[in-house]
Structure 1
């Protein structure tokens, strides 16, 4: 099945299950069980390739696994598999075993709970593994207390997912692409909730290209950080720009279900768990990530690239006394307002950026010109020469809101003392529900960013003196004039058109009166 057909059938399954679970639960089940299938089938390949399981002609891999890993040998198998993959699935809980139960109508809440408990227990066999993949995704749904109709609904989802073939015409595994596509489709149908877990690919691509342009090619293991990582889609888009590099991923996400979705998304794209450092937590409440040196002193982890699409103008607790001395914020003389955490997110990301790194963050336009504390923070950022580029994007690009947003590019060390302004708000294509950036729109933004030259009605390089004259207001129209003069009006032509129109009206009036007399009205 192609991706479009899979999604179409997914919506049909959802309609049948409408009375058994809501849309968010449906999404979680689909993505979680599809990922579980991937893990199980990946384990089978690993067991065969490593010689852990001897598959004879008369037995399939699942039967061979059950036979050879029974009794006292089971723990040895699980330990070996976990050391190879970072996880292990016991023979009673493989995807093939689950399908057998579904087909025999023997799927039960207790079996599903045992499956999850077994998976989490096996993770502990590898002390280096922190990827507790299904924590909070299925456990929170209290499978042990569900009604038979709900179990039937889950069985229907599992049956459908078992039918999906994710090999392309060349036999290559394209499950990662399918998984990303499904996340996108769920986001398109989630309204405002979409902002919690997905950034449209075209916007992600702009950020990813920007933060990788100046990356030192000699760095063998570059590190990227997204402190509001959602489903991990933005992190994965950075990977697309660094093919062949052993990229290391760090991210934090406050929503537990979304945090687990990010881990699944990264792992299903064949990224080793050893290159993934994700945390479920509040980015602003407690700084993360950090490390402790040999003297027991904490230091912030710093990254070559920082990307983020945090919640816009979110509320946060800025009344905590400890925040005044928080190294992320204290040098900027003020804390972001409690009703608008935009600059708190920005400063957090900048704090974790390496001296030669690049950060790109998506924020609402208000951060460019709002006053009071935000103006104070903005002024110090400019005086420190840390704001590199402002890019205004078109309206209605996001699934969750129609407002236009901006990309702010920041650096800790710059070779210039100016700010590049790009007004890309008029370069887009209209879609049925959302607008989107075309390839040529993305190319124009990136080429302008690289060249750093003025372009009439599109881009301007403003000196810090010019910005100071504008009282540190960064509103794009102050620097990029997009005004199109109205062509002069030909008054003679206009008078003639008005006379012609009046004559036509009079002729039509006479014609109507004539018709009415003929009809004796």
Structure 2
């Protein structure tokens, strides 16, 4: 563990050096695409090279040597595409490019060469099962952009520096280091989210919050048939669930095309075969891509209080038709909840992060909240988180957990975890002990003074279905008793000290003749 931690730290240092190479040319939210794109290309390249050499190990020849033999080339191409979903010709391998860069002026590397290499990947998947997975995957790494340099030579020089820096990163593709590579990827996303504000933060859920969500939906399960995130961002939340329980297949949807590309890259970086994930690029509410499907685990950190059309057509939509009213146009928080509930299997668990307003706002939202509790009895847990955890917003948030398999006499557990955090820089962070306390309290449904309470449905009804946490968890701390006599004595002492100081000052002034 110590060795891996040191490895990570060295890795992060080199990644940040790359960011500094590009810093003067573009803003953080743009140059992350180039760094992550090159890292991803190296990953794909090394995977192909290693697989090819493994296939050829009994033939005593390298991938490059075999490629020159026409009879072997076709068989090798078919094997690589079947096993990896894509292929890269030896002349376009990352290692080949590094060799050319190291030759200096005599080498063949330029930015156009890298463009051809990326196109080579996409072309190899045409007509294959993996075509959709690799389609437009590198679109955000615009190698023709003048932001990299005004001339081909300038762009080539800058990208050559980035390739060399990526090459200096020491990671081998084996079982023990795949997570390090994945962690690095998430670190970069988090780093840029921290430095680029809300825009970058849209696709990143802090690891502490992700851990809580993942542990909740996998509680007492070693395997999950599937997991679904309707606003999957970079896919980090889906992958976090896989760390807690073995996931059969990943499903997700993401509106932002850049982030959609990141999610697919992230899956492949974590060794998830293209056949095991189905991530779509479209508006989840307006154009749902997984209708008719139910999932064993559903997780999300949707955009807070975003607007939606609230069009009358949705009154007939099976996701919303049973609630009586549509959520207001100005706040789509419950729209995502309803969508997720619709996709939740009877034996499944759903966990979603939302702003506190969903607990108590009136109107249509109150109708929906009441329906989910009184008519359906789906709400299982309400967890209040600390403020200032997320990039782009300092508001406190809440995790809502829903289940369709609750009994009539089940309570709703309220947890006030708002005080459990560590301040890191200008953000707050959930520590391991904070995460464990939340999850253990949930698992055991514990009653802890000033922290958690199991509320009966009768209690909820008495509060008119207002779920504001202080109504159920008393966190009031009485003011310490003031000893008036001690205060008076201290004030008298202060007056005496002031008089003595005044006399001392007068003495010095007389000595100075003032």
Shift of 1:499: 1.3
Secondary structure of 1:2's counterpart equals: helix
Question: 1:392, 1:422 within 8 Å by CA — same for their partners in 2?
Answer: yes
CA–CA distance in structure 2, aligned partners of residues 3 and 346 of structure 1: 37
Question: 1:133, 1:260 within 8 Å by CA — same for their partners in 2?
Answer: no
Provide the residue aligned with 1:501 in structure 2.
Answer: 494
Residue 40 (str. 1) matches residue 32 (str. 2): no
Residue 433 (str. 1) matches residue 426 (str. 2): yes
Residue 458 (str. 1) matches residue 463 (str. 2): no
Provide the residue aligned with 1:467 in structure 2.
Answer: 460
Question: 1:199, 1:309 within 8 Å by CA — same for their partners in 2?
Answer: yes
Provide the residue aligned with 2:283 in structure 1.
Answer: 282
Residue 336 (str. 1) matches residue 339 (str. 2): no
Provide the residue aligned with 1:28 in structure 2.
Answer: 33
Shift of 1:474: 0.6
Residue 156 (str. 1) matches residue 158 (str. 2): no
CA–CA distance in structure 2, aligned partners of residues 221 and 516 of structure 1: 83
Residue 191 (str. 1) matches residue 197 (str. 2): yes
Question: 1:229, 1:253 within 8 Å by CA — same for their partners in 2?
Answer: yes
Shift of 1:492: 1.5
Secondary structure of 2:213's counterpart equals: helix
Shift of 1:141: 5.6
CA–CA distance in structure 2, aligned partners of residues 146 and 371 of structure 1: 56
Provide the residue aligned with 1:230 in structure 2.
Answer: 233
> Counterparts of 1:440-451 in structure 2 under 5 Å?
440-451=433-444
Shift of 1:518: 1.8
Residue 84 (str. 1) matches residue 83 (str. 2): yes
Secondary structure of 1:427's counterpart equals: coil
Provide the residue aligned with 1:312 in structure 2.
Answer: 304
CA–CA distance in structure 2, aligned partners of residues 238 and 378 of structure 1: 27
Secondary structure of 1:88's counterpart equals: coil
CA–CA distance in structure 2, aligned partners of residues 221 and 517 of structure 1: 87
Unaligned runs of 5+ in 2: 1-5
Pick aligned residue for 2:114 from 106, 112, 115: 112
Deviates more, 1:110-119 or 1:492-501: 110-119
Deviates more, 1:460-469 or 1:16-25: 16-25
CA–CA distance in structure 1, aligned partners of residues 32 and 308 of structure 2: 28
TM-aligned CA distance change 1:457 to 1:385, over 3 Å: same
CA deviation digits over 1:332-384, x for unaligned, max 9?
12222222111111111111110110000011111111111111111111111
TM-aligned CA distance change 1:15 to 1:450, over 3 Å: closer
Deviates more, 1:122-131 or 1:452-461: 122-131
CA deviation digits over 1:113-157, x for unaligned, max 9?
332332112112423553116535346564699633223222211
Provide the residue aligned with 1:211 in structure 2.
Answer: 217
CA–CA distance in structure 1, aligned partners of residues 11 and 348 of structure 2: 40
TM-aligned CA distance change 1:65 to 1:183, over 3 Å: farther
Deviates more, 1:398-407 or 1:381-390: 398-407
> Counterparts of 1:473-484 in structure 2 under 5 Å?
473-484=466-477
Pick aligned residue for 1:325 from 306, 309, 316: 316
Secondary structure of 2:253's counterpart equals: strand
Provide the residue aligned with 1:266 in structure 2.
Answer: 267
Question: 1:109, 1:146 within 8 Å by CA — same for their partners in 2?
Answer: no
Number of aligned pairs? 500
TM-aligned CA distance change 1:172 to 1:284, over 3 Å: closer
Secondary structure of 1:247's counterpart equals: strand
CA–CA distance in structure 2, aligned partners of residues 82 and 52 of structure 1: 18
CA–CA distance in structure 2, aligned partners of residues 141 and 403 of structure 1: 38
Question: 1:32, 1:134 within 8 Å by CA — same for their partners in 2?
Answer: no
Deviates more, 1:23-32 or 1:344-353: 23-32
Shift of 1:181: 3.0
CA–CA distance in structure 2, aligned partners of residues 303 and 116 of structure 1: 35
Question: 1:112, 1:143 within 8 Å by CA — same for their partners in 2?
Answer: no
RMSD of Structure 2 on Structure 1 (CA): 2.5
Shift of 1:274: 1.3
Residue 241 (str. 1) matches residue 233 (str. 2): no
Secondary structure of 2:30's counterpart equals: helix
Residue 202 (str. 1) matches residue 220 (str. 2): no
Question: 2:230, 2:284 within 8 Å by CA — same for their partners in 1?
Answer: yes
Question: 2:380, 2:402 within 8 Å by CA — same for their partners in 1?
Answer: yes
Residue 181 (str. 1) matches residue 182 (str. 2): no
> Counterparts of 1:132-151 in structure 2 under 5 Å?
132=134, 134-135=136-137, 137-138=139-140, 142=144, 147-148=151-152, 149-151=154-156
Provide the residue aligned with 1:353 in structure 2.
Answer: 344
Shift of 1:193: 2.5
Shift of 1:99: 2.2
Question: 2:11, 2:170 within 8 Å by CA — same for their partners in 1?
Answer: no
Question: 2:67, 2:90 within 8 Å by CA — same for their partners in 1?
Answer: yes
Shift of 1:170: 11
Question: 2:295, 2:344 within 8 Å by CA — same for their partners in 1?
Answer: yes
Deviates more, 1:133-142 or 1:119-128: 133-142
Shift of 1:185: 2.7
Secondary structure of 1:466's counterpart equals: helix
Secondary structure of 2:218's counterpart equals: helix
